[in-house]
């Protein structure tokens, strides 16, 4: 043992590499053999655990990623087909990367409650949302279509309700007098002097056919009794008696024929609930009547 503390440990020494001798050089034109792989490395450059030792895909990209073949000049194709939606052409994406989901169009979401409450507004918002979904690639097409359908249904309900209300108002509006041409109206619209082409059958009367009194007719209103709008239903017998009190021969003029018949039309309980407050006295005959039976 040497007394020098800084001396190298004794043992066999590996000689430093020096210039190769002529005998150890390969013949001209031949490639020297590759050095043996490091100890513990499996054939093919893989470690015993199966992991690749620093291998990379062509172009310096990590294995498992996706990029169009041929790089930026790949014309939007991959080895398996066109560029998937949301991926940029010519870009590399790490394994497992997915493009962010497009946002939902706010107008599509707002169209549903707007259609339910405001009808036509929902239709407009839904149509605008569909246009934005197509132009911007956002989500919400289903909600926009729902808003349009709901808005259309509500709008149709409004239209039908308005028509029904208008028809009801028309049925409660009295005629202006003698009509200029035949028309079908509700019985409560008849006024004193209105002429009918014929008397309807006995029973509840709804709509009747009025004609000009100068035309051939077989019935005419000779008296009318109106109940108060705020009155309570008096009962069918009381309503009939009240209308009958105004329906007598004194309502007829001298031109009335002897065989004329007086008929009382009074409101029923059902028509009273619907707003009917009109009682009528009609003079009718099986033969055509004179132009005016009023006295």
pLDDT in tens, 92-124: 667 767 767 778 888 888 999 988 888 899 999
The confidence score (pLDDT) of residue 67 equals 52
Angle between helices 120-136 and 106-118 (to 10 degrees): 170
> Is residue 145 domain-shared with residue 190, that is, in the same domain?
no
**Is residue 164 in some structural domain?**
yes
Task: Give start and end residues of each alpha helix (H) in 119-268.
Answer: 120-136, 141-172, 236-244
State whether residue 138 is helix, strand or coil: coil
Does the pLDDT of residue 20 top 90, yes or no? no
What is the distance between the alpha carbons of residues 289 and 283, in angstroms, rounded to a whole number? Answer: 9
**Is residue 49 in some structural domain?**
no
> Is residue 246 domain-shared with residue 272, that is, in the same domain?
yes
Does the pLDDT of residue 73 top 50, yes or no? no
Q: Are 159 and 167 spatial neighbours (Cβ–Cβ below 8 Å)?
A: no
pTM of the predicted structure, to 2 decimals: 0.47
Worst-scoring range by mean pLDDT, 44-48, 101-105, 130-134? 44-48
117 Cβ neighbours under 8 A, 6+ residues apart? 154
DSSP 8-state assignment for residue 228:
-
Does the pLDDT of residue 11 top 90, yes or no? no
> Is residue 225 domain-shared with residue 195, that is, in the same domain?
yes
Q: What is the CA radius of gyration of the chain?
A: 51
> Is residue 279 domain-shared with residue 202, that is, in the same domain?
yes
**Is residue 29 in some structural domain?**
no
> Is residue 193 domain-shared with residue 163, that is, in the same domain?
no
> Is residue 215 domain-shared with residue 262, that is, in the same domain?
yes
Worst-scoring range by mean pLDDT, 124-128, 143-147, 177-181, 211-215? 177-181
- In the chain, the percentage of residues whose pLDDT exceeds 90 is 15
Q: Are 203 and 265 spatial neighbours (Cβ–Cβ below 8 Å)?
A: no
Q: Which residue did the predictor score with more confidence, 275 or 239?
A: 239
pLDDT-based confidence at residue 69 (cuts at 50, 70, 90): very low
- Structural domain containing residue 240: 183-284
The confidence score (pLDDT) of residue 83 equals 64
Q: What is the arithmetic mean of pLDDT over 267-283? A: 88
What is the total count of domains within the chain?
Answer: 2
To the nearest whole number, what is the mean pLDDT of the chain?
75
Of 171, 204, 227, at which residue does a domain stop? Answer: 171
> Is residue 156 domain-shared with residue 197, that is, in the same domain?
no
What is the distance between the alpha carbons of residues 90 and 263, in angstroms, rounded to a whole number? Answer: 95
> Is residue 193 domain-shared with residue 266, that is, in the same domain?
yes
**Is residue 98 in some structural domain?**
no
Cα-Cα-Cα-Cα torsion 60, 61, 64, 70, nearest 10 degrees, comes to -100
Does the pLDDT of residue 21 top 80, yes or no? no
Does the pLDDT of residue 57 top 70, yes or no? no
The residues facing 264 across adjacent strands are: 281
> Is residue 239 domain-shared with residue 155, that is, in the same domain?
no
**Is residue 119 in some structural domain?**
yes
Of 145, 171, 197, at which residue does a domain stop? Answer: 171
65 Cβ neighbours under 8 A, 6+ residues apart? 57, 92, 93, 94, 95
pLDDT-based confidence at residue 238 (cuts at 50, 70, 90): very high
What is the distance between the alpha carbons of residues 292 and 222, in angstroms, rounded to a whole number? Answer: 9
Cα-Cα-Cα-Cα torsion 114, 117, 121, 126, nearest 10 degrees, comes to 40
> Is residue 200 domain-shared with residue 278, that is, in the same domain?
yes
The confidence score (pLDDT) of residue 236 equals 92
**Is residue 188 in some structural domain?**
yes
The confidence score (pLDDT) of residue 51 equals 45
**H or E element that contains 106:** helix 106-118
Q: What is the arithmetic mean of pLDDT over 220-235? A: 89
Of 151, 171, 191, at which residue does a domain stop? Answer: 171
Q: Which residue did the predictor score with more confidence, 80 or 52?
A: 80
State whether residue 291 is helix, strand or coil: coil
Strands (E), 53-103: 77-78, 81-82
> Is residue 151 domain-shared with residue 211, that is, in the same domain?
no
pLDDT tens profile 215-226 = 889 899 988 888
> Is residue 228 domain-shared with residue 276, that is, in the same domain?
yes
**Is residue 236 in some structural domain?**
yes
**Is residue 15 in some structural domain?**
no
């Amino acid at each position: 043992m040497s007394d020098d503390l800084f001396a190298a440990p004794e043992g066999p020494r590996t000689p430093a590499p020096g210039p190769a001798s002529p005998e150890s050089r390969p013949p001209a034109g031949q490639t020297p053999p590759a050095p043996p792989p490091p100890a513990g490395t499996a054939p093919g450059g893989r470690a015993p655990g199966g992991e690749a030792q620093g291998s990379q895909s062509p172009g310096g990209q990590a294995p498992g990623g996706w990029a169009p073949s041929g790089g930026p000049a790949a014309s939007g194709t991959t080895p398996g087909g066109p560029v998937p939606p949301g991926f940029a052409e010519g870009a590399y994406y790490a394994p497992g990367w997915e493009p962010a989901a497009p946002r939902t169009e706010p107008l599509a979401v707002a169209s549903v409650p707007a259609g339910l409450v405001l009808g036509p507004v929902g239709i407009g918002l839904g149509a605008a949302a569909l246009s934005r979904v197509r132009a911007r690639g956002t989500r919400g097409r289903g909600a926009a279509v729902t808003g349009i359908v709901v808005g259309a249904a509500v709008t149709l309900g409004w239209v039908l309700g308005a028509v029904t209300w208008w028809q009801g108002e028309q049925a409660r509006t009295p005629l202006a007098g003698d009509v200029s041409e035949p028309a079908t109206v509700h019985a409560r619209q008849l006024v004193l002097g209105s002429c009918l082409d014929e008397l309807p059958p006995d029973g509840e009367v709804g709509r009747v056919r009025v004609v000009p009194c100068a035309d051939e007719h077989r019935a005419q209103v000779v008296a009318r009794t109106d109940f108060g709008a705020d009155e309570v239903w008096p009962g069918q017998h009381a309503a009939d008696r009240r209308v009958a009190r105004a329906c007598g021969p004194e309502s007829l003029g001298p031109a009335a024929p002897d065989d004329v018949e007086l008929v009382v039309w009074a409101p029923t309980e059902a028509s009273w609930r619907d707003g009917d407050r009109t009682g009528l006295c009609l003079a009718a005959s099986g033969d055509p009547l004179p132009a005016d039976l009023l006295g």
